[in-house]
Structure 1
Amino acid sequence: PSATCLPHQNNTVLYAYSTDIDYKTYYYGADCMVFYADMYTRLANVRFDTKVEEEIEYHTDYNSLNASLSSHWPDPSLGYGDTTTGSNLYNILKKFLNNEKVSLCGALVLIAVKRYPNESDVSNIITQLRANHVMVYIAVDSIPSGGTNSAALYEMSFQTNGYCAFATGRDLTSAFYYMSWILARPYQFIAQNFVVSGSGRIEIPAFKTPTPENRDEWGLQAITVQNHALDNSFISMNYTIESTDGSYVLKSPSQDVVPLFGSAQTDHLLLNGSLSYKWTIDYHYKTDAPQIIQLRMYSLFYHDFIPLPPF
């Protein structure tokens, strides 16, 4: 990226959704896009998995975005009508990456997937996304309408410091709704991934937040517990986020935090710029098979891009 590539400076949000996705999941993503539109310079949306491939539409204001979203509801009857055809999502992303209309630097991509792509190697796309600091967030329906490969979707979000939630039904709708809150907290300041197995504990040592001294803000934290649809090897995950002086403690599960929806949980937390925090996660899986836990935290206040995972 150019030397001027900074987080959330004149950046773009793309909302891409499968025509096979359920209306409610689509609606919550669309609602957040329109609600937070004024925080972004350029807005883009596209409905994919249609028999006739649709073009990405670009906007500078929420009225234009809203009109476009309202006239492109998901509609499975416009789709491929079989279970074998793979999603055309990667074609759409290639078009976005090669567009001449909007800046790619620090773009956010929010995707709702119902049909899986068939491609297994998307390293070219991942390389391009990473070169432009594009972060990819994906909600994947764990009961697909077609296609075969969801692993590459997870990989694409993992490698760009985004994350991928697997769920279905109401849980998918909720997972995507909370995921889309990231639009309101554009500065990521924690992005860590842990390969774990069995039972154990992860401890993030004391950290400061980008919040200014003596200011409070509602930040956002996200955690994912598997790199595929939740299966019965997952038993539980508990965590505590607390200030080192003990004045603030947030525990999950509790009534203060939304539960896991499928494989992911995203919720607000209160941050104070004068405090340091630590994050402790206890996990339990039935087997010794490797699992990936992703931790993310976001602020309303400026923070440089977090280094990307080795690729």
Structure 2
Amino acid sequence: MYCENGSSVLTFDDTGLGKMYNSPIATGECDPTTRQVTMLIQDPSENEFTYTQLLGTCLVKEKCECTAIALDSLNIGGFIDSTSPFYSQMMSSDSKLPFISVSGCTTSMICASGYSLLLFDDTGLGKVFETLSASGQCIAKTNKWKVDTGSRVRLTTFNQMYGICVVNDSETPPAVSTSTTIPTTTTVDTNCTPSTLTTLAYAYSNDWDAQDFLNFWNVEHSFQSYNPQNLDKSWIKYANIRFDTVNEDSIQYHNTYDELDLSIKDHLPDPSLGFNTTATGSDILKIIEKFADNTQAPLCGARMIIFVKRYPNEVNIDRLVGKLREHHISLHIYVTDTPKGGLHSETLYNLASRTNGMCIFYNEAGYDFRWSRSQKLFYAVNPKVSGRGSVQLPVPQKESMAGSEFHLVVEDGPRKFFENVKLSWIYSSWSETMVEAIQMYSTNYGVIMLWKGDSLSNLSMQYDYSDEKVRTVQVRLYDYS
């Protein structure tokens, strides 16, 4: 028996005997003498069992895809405006990222001692908890949260769980808050600001063809070097690392872009150093964490440009997400649609979504990675969409949008079900609603230009997909001025 679309098989007979399989396939052998079916068991720890007759059905597992985002003073601007009753508290430089813990459909947000958790959603609903943490249960049918806010009547429904740790006036917050039991996110770089000069790192898989990568790099180097002042105003350090090698390479750090150029040409992909098997997953997650732990280059606001030819086998990224958020490290991940190995491309997409990055899939038959690496991110949201419809987006809290562009990643893999996305908004000096369609630059990635310097209001996204899957769209605003 076989189930499609991610369903699991439930087998049973008329005696009441039944078994749920955590896979879409169940196989049995029929004994022609007894007319009984013996089910084939792959797990040796399980006992063999027999049905008098084999009946089956497909059960669809509900997916928990509610939105939960940890915020602090550096990234909360896209989620609130000055009319919020908690505006001054949330915009304070003392506000911190909560730690997020996920277990099944339950998500908890936890603050360090000296802080209180402030939870809110896009309707204006908000609650400051007296405790350090709060938990929500994701209701799969509605994609909304049920949260215990202390109401004696019922659990409170939140459209999203947006959480931020604000100073508890009754206590003195620590200058740097750490936890010995949660080693991932409760430490925050208090000196990190959007204007801090930082590090640009390139990471590339050893599964690349050496000549192909050299050709790409020559174009990339020329493109970025054409306007060197853009590099100088953003980056004070550079790094490169070749990953997916049997013996792990060291990260190379440099003071100039030309030094980076020489180092990359000295560390081109080499097939003799690679895994030489499709079963081995990429070690890119380990490399990203290694960069996040480094002490040789500044991390605040650092950016990693990553070129993936092999997918990771891991799916748990909670610890890594915490480290990247701690220093506001963003990832621009370029992923092939024909991998050399590995299992989970969605891990890379989830990682980029949770750290304000982008995960762009490209076609091996033709790709163009040329884009300025010096753009400044000032807005990031991850709306959930399904089928055809529209969703209201938080309004960017920026007075002038001159030199800004929307960058959108519309599917968590090579484009398959995407048909169209449009953004609509009103410029502050106009009364008419502007509607702009996405201009695609890759299989799942496109850009929408802003051509006036005014601020925006009434921002929404209209979308069309040919299926009903609930998916996350990465919406980013970059400033090129």
Smaller-chain TM-score bracket: 0.7 to 0.9
| Aligned with residue 131 of structure 1, among 326, 337, 342 | 326
Offset at residue 205 of structure 1 (A): 6.2
Offset at residue 139 of structure 1 (A): 1.0
| Aligned with residue 264 of structure 1, among 439, 445, 457 | 445
Residue 229 (structure 1) aligned with residue 414 (structure 2) = yes
| Aligned with residue 238 of structure 2, among 26, 40, 43 | 43
Pick closer, same or farther for the CA change 1:25–1:156 going to 2, 3 Å: farther
Pick closer, same or farther for the CA change 1:72–1:250 going to 2, 3 Å: farther
Residue 265 of structure 2 aligns with which residue?
70
CA distance in 1, matches of 2:384, 2:354: 14
CA distance in 2, matches of 1:5, 1:205: 24
Instruction: Give the partner amino acid of 2:331.
Output: V
SS at match of 2:370: helix
Q: Which has the larger radius of gyration?
A: 2
SS at match of 2:275: coil
Offset at residue 86 of structure 1 (A): 1.3
1:230-288, CA deviations, whole angstroms, 9 ceiling, x for partnerless residues? 22x323223346524168957225xxxx424111113653341x443554432111222
CA distance in 2, matches of 1:170, 1:29: 18
**Counterparts of residues 273-292 of structure 1 (less than 5 Å):** 274-276=454-456, 279-292=459-472
Question: Contact 2:231/2:374 (CA < 8 Å) preserved in 1?
Answer: no
Residue 177 of structure 1 aligns with which residue?
370
CA distance in 1, matches of 2:365, 2:399: 33
Offset at residue 32 of structure 1 (A): 5.2
CA distance in 1, matches of 2:247, 2:309: 17
CA distance in 1, matches of 2:268, 2:374: 23
Offset at residue 51 of structure 1 (A): 3.1
Residue 165 (structure 1) aligned with residue 346 (structure 2) = no
Question: Contact 1:219/1:298 (CA < 8 Å) preserved in 2?
Answer: yes
Offset at residue 158 of structure 1 (A): 0.8
Question: Contact 2:383/2:474 (CA < 8 Å) preserved in 1?
Answer: yes
Residue 193 of structure 1 aligns with which residue?
382
Instruction: Give the partner amino acid of 2:206.
Output: T
| Aligned with residue 248 of structure 2, among 26, 50, 53 | 53
Higher relative contact order, structure no. (Cα contacts within 8 Å, ≥ 6 residues apart): 1
SS at match of 2:312: coil
CA distance in 2, matches of 1:56, 1:112: 15
User: Which 5+ residue runs of structure 1 have no aligned equivalent?
Assistant: 302-311
Residue 7 (structure 1) aligned with residue 194 (structure 2) = yes
CA distance in 2, matches of 1:148, 1:73: 25
CA distance in 2, matches of 1:121, 1:294: 20
CA distance in 1, matches of 2:432, 2:348: 39
| Aligned with residue 109 of structure 1, among 283, 304, 307 | 304
User: Which 5+ residue runs of structure 2 have no aligned equivalent?
Assistant: 1-187
Offset at residue 14 of structure 1 (A): 1.2
Offset at residue 162 of structure 1 (A): 0.7
SS at match of 1:81: coil
Number of aligned positions between the proteins: 285
Q: Percent identity?
A: 29
Pick closer, same or farther for the CA change 1:47–1:8 going to 2, 3 Å: farther
**Counterparts of residues 130-149 of structure 1 (less than 5 Å):** 130-149=325-344
Residue 239 of structure 1 aligns with which residue?
423
Instruction: Give the partner amino acid of 1:185.
Output: Q
Residue 391 of structure 2 aligns with which residue?
202
Structure 1 runs (4+) greater than 6 angstroms displaced = none
Instruction: Give the partner amino acid of 1:177.
Output: R
CA distance in 2, matches of 1:8, 1:75: 38
Pick closer, same or farther for the CA change 1:144–1:246 going to 2, 3 Å: farther
CA distance in 1, matches of 2:398, 2:423: 18
Residue 309 of structure 1 aligns with which residue?
none
Instruction: Give the partner amino acid of 1:64.
Output: E
Offset at residue 11 of structure 1 (A): 1.1
Instruction: Give the partner amino acid of 1:46.
Output: I
Question: Contact 2:420/2:437 (CA < 8 Å) preserved in 1?
Answer: no
TM-score, normalized by length of structure 1? 0.81
Residue 299 of structure 1 aligns with which residue?
479
CA distance in 2, matches of 1:32, 1:210: 30
Question: Contact 1:208/1:277 (CA < 8 Å) preserved in 2?
Answer: no
Pick closer, same or farther for the CA change 1:115–1:30 going to 2, 3 Å: farther
Question: Contact 1:201/1:280 (CA < 8 Å) preserved in 2?
Answer: yes
TM-score, normalized by length of structure 2? 0.54
Offset at residue 296 of structure 1 (A): 0.7
CA distance in 1, matches of 2:289, 2:396: 37
Structure with more helix by fraction = 1
Residue 18 of structure 2 aligns with which residue?
none
SS at match of 2:382: strand
